[in-house]
Amino acid sequence: MNDYLPICREDMERRGWDQCDFVYVIGDAYVDHPSFGPAIISRVLESRGYRVGIIAQPDWKNPESIQILGTPRLAFLVCGGNMDSMVNHYTVAKKRRAADAYSPGGKPGLRPDRATIVYCNLIRRIYHTIPVIIGGIEASLRRLAHYDYWSDKVRRSILLDSRADLLIYGMGERAMIEIAEALEAGIAIKDIHWIRGTCYADRTPDIDQDTVRLPDFAQIVSSKEMYGQSFVAAYRNNDPINGRRLVEKYTDTVYVVQNPPQPPLEREELDDVYELPFENEAHPMYIEQGEIPAFREVKFSMVSSRGCFGGCSFCALTYHQGRQVRSRSRESLVREAEALTKKADFKGYIHDIGGPTANFRAPACQKQRKTGVCQNKDCLFPQPCAAMEVSHRDYLEVLRAVRAVPGVKKVFIRSGIRYDYVMADRDETFLYELCRYHVSGTLKIAPEHVSDRVLRCMHKPGKAVFLQFAERYRQINDKLQKKQYLIPYFISSHPGSSLDDAVELALFLKDYGFVPDQVQDFYPTPGTLATCMYYTGRDPLTMEEVYVAKNLEEKKMQRALIHYNKPENRKTVIRALQQAGREDLIDVLLGGRGKKHEFDQRTGKNHRGRKKTVSECGRQTADSDRRNRRKNGTGRHGMPRR
C-alpha cells in the first residue's frame, strides 16, 4: 500500500492491522521524505514486510500519548529528530530558539529537551518488557561518554540515561533489518549483542585482542587528558574495515559496548532505499497547522551521496556517517528528478543535488575500500593526499543528466562545494559547468577562517587556497559574461581563535571586499574533534594546547569583528580592538575606507593593483542574493547551520 504509515488506530484498521510490529516515536513532525531518517528506517522495514506505526511529537507529559497505537509486537523505536534536540532548542548562547524548523508552522516546544531520553523513559513507565531501540543523530553522537555543552559537564552514554536496550549509531538501515530479523526469530533483545553499528549495555563483556578498552567513566570525568584519550580512541575506530570494538566501564557491573560500524550501503543498495514508496510530503494532518520549514528547504532537493572524507574538526558527520563516501547512480537520480517534475507545485527548479559535501561521490582512494580509512591521516588536510583520486566526472554526468530532464529549468548546488578538492582537480570542466549552469547568482562556500592557526585547528586548507579558488571563479564568470558572486561562511570563536585572529579575519574581509552572509559562533556539539578541543583546551590528536574563547563577551567581540560593517556592532568592535591593543585599526575598519582599502570603480583594482576577488561587495552582494532567490522562487535556508 502506497500511503502514509499509520498514525492512529483508524489508520491501522484501514490496513487491516490489529497490531504494529514496530511503533516509531519521533521528535520531528512526520514527513515521509528520505531527507528524514525515521522515514527511511520505517520504509525499509515496511519493504521487508514489517508493520510500522508512527507517533510523531507525542505529549511527553501525558503517558497516553505513546499508547495510541497500542503495544508493538517486536519493539519501540525512538528517534529524537533530525537534529540533536538541544541544538534544535538552544542557540550557542544557550537561549531558547524562537522556532523549531522540524515542527508544523515552525512552532517551538513540541518536543522536550533531550528528547530521546524523555521519550524512552515515558515508554518504560508503561511498557516494562517491550524492547526499546534508539537511533538517529542524537543517539549516534551521544553513544559513549561525551561532553555536554548545555550542562557543561561530561555525561554518560545516552544508552544508559534512556534505559534503552539497544542503540543504533550511524546510518541504520542494515543494522535495523538485522535486529528486526533477530527479534522475529525469537531472540531476546538482551542477547542481540553481535550486530555491527550498535551499542549495548553489559555486565561482564568479553575483552579480547580485538577490543579497545576505553578509560573508565570515572577517569574521564576527573581528567580532561583521559577524556581526550577516550575521544581519540573512538575517533580512530569509526571505520567498518579497521574499526575495533570499544568497551567503556561505568561501574563494576555496568559497561557500554560499541560494536564496529556497519559497512556503508553500496550504490545499488542506496538506489533501492531512495526509491522506496515515499509520499515525499508532510503528513496531511499538518495542513491547518502550517508547513514544516525544514521540509520546505529539501522538498525539491535530492540526496546523491553519503559520508565525507573532508575531516572538518567542527563537523560530526564523519562520526555519524563515516569517512567512506558512497553515492547513488545517475539513473536513480534521474528517475527522482522525473518524479519531482510531476509535482503540482514544482516550478522547474531543483534546489540541490548533493550530500554532506556535494562534489564527493566516491571513496577518496581505492585503499579505503580494501583496508579502510587512514586512522592517523586526513585526506585533504594539511594538503590533499597524493593517493587521493580527484575527479568530478561522475558528478558531472549526474548534473548533465538531471538538467536534461524535461521540465527541469535549473539545477542548483547548495550542499556545499569543497573548493580545495575543486582546485586539486586539473580538469576545470566542473568549475566551468558549475558557473554556467548551477549557480543562482551567488555561490556559498565555507573557508570558515583565514588565520593559519585557526585553520589548523579546523583541519581546513589555508587562505591561499580560498583566494586561488575565488580568483579562478571570478575569471571563469568573466569569461562566461556572468555576474555571479561568492558568499563566504565563517565561524567565530572556534578553538584556536583569539581576538588577534578575529582582527586578522576582519582586515581580510575589509581588504578583499567580502561581506559574509552568515557568521556562526562555534557550537560545541557532541561527537566533534573541535568540541573535545573546547572542553579540554588541547588538540587530543597532538596534545598541544589550544586557546579557547569561553567568555561570552569575547565571543560577542569575535563575532562583531566579522560583521564590523554593521552599525549595531560599532561599539563592540571598538571594545574588541582596544582589548586587542589595535586602536590603530578603529578608523580602518569603522572610519572612511582609506586608500589601502579602496577599489577603483572603473578598474576594480586597489592602489596595489590587486583586483577584487568578488565582483561586488557590501550590500550589493546580499541584495543580489535576495533578488536571485525571488527570481527563482527559492527560499533562504531557515535551519540552524550546525
CB 301 within 8 A of CB 350: yes
Q: State whether 192 and 321 are in the same domain.
A: no
Q: State whether 453 and 429 are in the same domain.
A: no
CATH code (residue 166): 3.40.50
Q: 3 in a domain, yes or no? A: no
pTM over cut 0.85: yes
Is the pLDDT at 199 greater than 60? The verdict is: yes
Condensed to tens digits (0 to 9), the pLDDT of residues 31-45 reads: 999 999 999 999 999
- Which residue, 438, 458, 486, sits at the end of a domain? 438
605 SS3 class = strand
Q: 86 in a domain, yes or no? A: yes
- Give the model's pLDDT for residue 633: 46
CB 143 within 8 A of CB 135: no
Q: State whether 132 and 61 are in the same domain.
A: yes
Condensed to tens digits (0 to 9), the pLDDT of residues 587-631 reads: 999 985 433 444 343 344 443 444 444 433 333 444 444 444 444
Q: State whether 429 and 492 are in the same domain.
A: no
Residues 295-320 as b/e (b if ≥16 CB within 10 A, e otherwise) read bbbbbbbbbbbbbbbbbbbbbbbbbb
Region 551-568 average pLDDT: 93
Q: DSSP string covering 7-35, please? A: -SHHHHHHTT-SS-SEEEEESS--EESTT
- Give the model's pLDDT for residue 639: 35
- Give the model's pLDDT for residue 2: 58
Q: Scan for cell 522562487, then name that residue.
A: 633
Pairing of strands 198-202, 166-168: antiparallel
Q: State whether 394 and 308 are in the same domain.
A: yes
Q: 218 in a domain, yes or no? A: no
C-alpha separations of 501 from 169, 446, 467, 492 in Å: 36, 17, 18, 10
C-alpha 219/C-alpha 207 separation (Å) is 19
Q: State whether 414 and 552 are in the same domain.
A: no
C-alpha separations of 462 from 255, 419, 455, 545, 620 in Å: 42, 12, 7, 20, 27
Q: 238 in a domain, yes or no? A: no
Condensed to tens digits (0 to 9), the pLDDT of residues 212-244 reads: 999 999 999 999 999 999 999 999 999 999 999
Q: Where are the alpha helices (DSSP H) in 366-513?
A: 366-371, 393-403, 419-424, 429-437, 452-458, 463-480, 499-512
Q: State whether 511 and 381 are in the same domain.
A: no
- Give the model's pLDDT for residue 397: 98
Average pLDDT, the chain: 91
Q: Which domain holds residue 100?
A: 9-201+252-258
Region 478-482 average pLDDT: 96
Q: 603 in a domain, yes or no? A: yes
Q: 43 in a domain, yes or no? A: yes
Three cell numbers, residue 275: 526509491
Is the pLDDT at 24 greater than 80? The verdict is: yes
Is the pLDDT at 72 greater than 50? The verdict is: yes
Q: State whether 78 and 195 are in the same domain.
A: yes
CB 39 within 8 A of CB 31: yes
Q: State whether 321 and 378 are in the same domain.
A: yes
C-alpha 455/C-alpha 380 separation (Å) is 13
Q: State whether 612 and 486 are in the same domain.
A: yes
Number of compact structural domains in the chain: 3
Is the pLDDT at 115 greater than 70? The verdict is: yes
Q: 264 in a domain, yes or no? A: no
C-alpha 320/C-alpha 527 separation (Å) is 8
Share of the chain above pLDDT 70, in %: 92
Sign of CA dihedral 175, 180, 183, 189: positive
Q: State whether 458 and 593 are in the same domain.
A: yes
Q: Where are the alpha helices (DSSP H) in 327-462?
A: 330-341, 366-371, 393-403, 419-424, 429-437, 452-458
